Amino acid sequence: MPVMVITGTGTEVGKTVVTAAVAAAALAAGRSVAVLKAAQTGVRPDEPGDAEEVARLAGAVTTAEPARYPEPLAPATAARRAGRAPVRPHEVAERAAELAAGHDLVLVEGAGGLLVRFDAAGGTLADAAALLAAPVLVVAPAGLGTLNATELTVRELRGRGLEAAGVVIGSWPGEPDLAARCNLLDLPDVTGVPLLGAVPAGAGALDPATFRASARDWLAPRLEGRWDAGAFRTREAP
Ligand SMILES: Nc1ncnc2c1ncn2[C@@H]1O[C@H](COP(=O)(O)OP(=O)(O)OP(=O)(O)O)[C@@H](O)[C@H]1O
Ligand SMILES: C[C@H](N)[C@H](N)CCCCCC(=O)O
Ligand SMILES: [Mg+2]
């Protein structure tokens, strides 16, 4: 299935902006794209969620958002406090599989980091990725502190038998400091997976036409190979 899961080292690291960049690059390559925000929290009913933000920046993508809880919390906590049913990993996987039947690429954005809980049983985005046997892209901050958090995330993916597709820096500063510059070498070294791109800081505030025209430049060609005709393959789900 042409599904890629997008996680990050935590919240506010730029998963949505990276998802939009990947979507824009795939659209520019002539692919049809769907974006599934697995569980949206911290957004009121009348506000655009992350999937809509991707559509605003990237263009004509199908959007899906199985559940929204207004409080800015982990989905399991927000669902519990709202007295509402949580999102289950199998529901996320099933929705992604449905979208995969009609699109060249389905991007599934999590909420916060990989192990943020969706439900009281401890279900996470990692469980949905496992059900889909989908590769997982890890969005990471640029600067000091990212080596530990990114390595932990990639180790957890590996421990679960999941494919870590690579790392993308969610917000590359205009004036990178020493740590950020060193991380370009150290991130691939400590994680064992390639650095597949870096989205410039402020990209989310670009006008959509400029964002779309620039997105491919922020991503490595190796990532684009993921949705080149015939090249996108995920393993068979168990
Ligand atoms: N490259 C960027 N350009 C502009 N703004 C950015 C960039 N990266 C992150 N931001 C800003 O930082 C904040 C967090 O980014 P984003 O919404 O992509 O995080 P996230 O990892 O998707 O978080 P969540 O867990 O809530 O989904 C947003 O307010 C966004 O506008
Ligand atoms: C509200 C926020 N923007 C995200 N949607 C949810 C982030 C949950 C993070 C939970 C945690 O790791 O402590
Ligand atoms: Mg987001």
ipTM of the complex: 0.87
Atom of ligand 1 nearest to the CA of 11: 25
Encode burial over 192-210: b for 16+ CB neighbours within 10 A, e otherwise.
Answer: ebbbbbbbbbebbebeeee
Contact status, residue 92 vs residue 66, Cβ threshold 8 Å: yes
Q: SS3 for 209?
A: helix
Please report which ligand is nearest the Cα atom of 153.
2
- How far apart are the CA of 104 and the centre of ligand 2, in A? 29
Catalytic site positions: 37
d(CA 124, CA 74): 10
Angle of CA points 11, 86, 132, to nearest 5°: 70
- Segment holding 64, helix H or strand E: strand 62-64
Give the pLDDT of residue 125. Answer: 98
Main-chain dihedrals φ then ψ at residue 40, nearest 5 degrees: -100, 120
- How far apart are the CA of 203 and the centre of ligand 1, in A? 10
| 27: CB partners within 8 A, 6+ apart | 33, 58, 59, 60, 61, 212
d(CA 230, CA 233): 7
Contact status, residue 138 vs residue 153, Cβ threshold 8 Å: yes
d(CA 82, CA 66): 16
List residues, by chain if needed, whose CB lies under 5 Å from ion ligand 3: 15-16, 50
* Ligand 2, pocket residues at CB < 6 Å: 11, 41-42, 72, 74, 111-113, 116
Atom of ligand 1 nearest to the CA of 116: 25
Give 79-84's long-range contacts (Cβ < 8 A, gap of 24+). Answer: 79/119, 80/120
d(CA 207, CA 167): 25
Give the pLDDT of residue 228. Answer: 61
Over the chain (238 residues), the average pLDDT of each successive run of 10 is: 95 98 95 97 96 98 97 98 98 98 97 98 98 98 98 98 98 97 97 97 98 95 70 44
Record the tokens describing residue 50, joined without a space: 């992350």
Contact status, residue 29 vs residue 134, Cβ threshold 8 Å: no
- How far apart are the CA of 50 and the centre of ligand 3, in A? 5
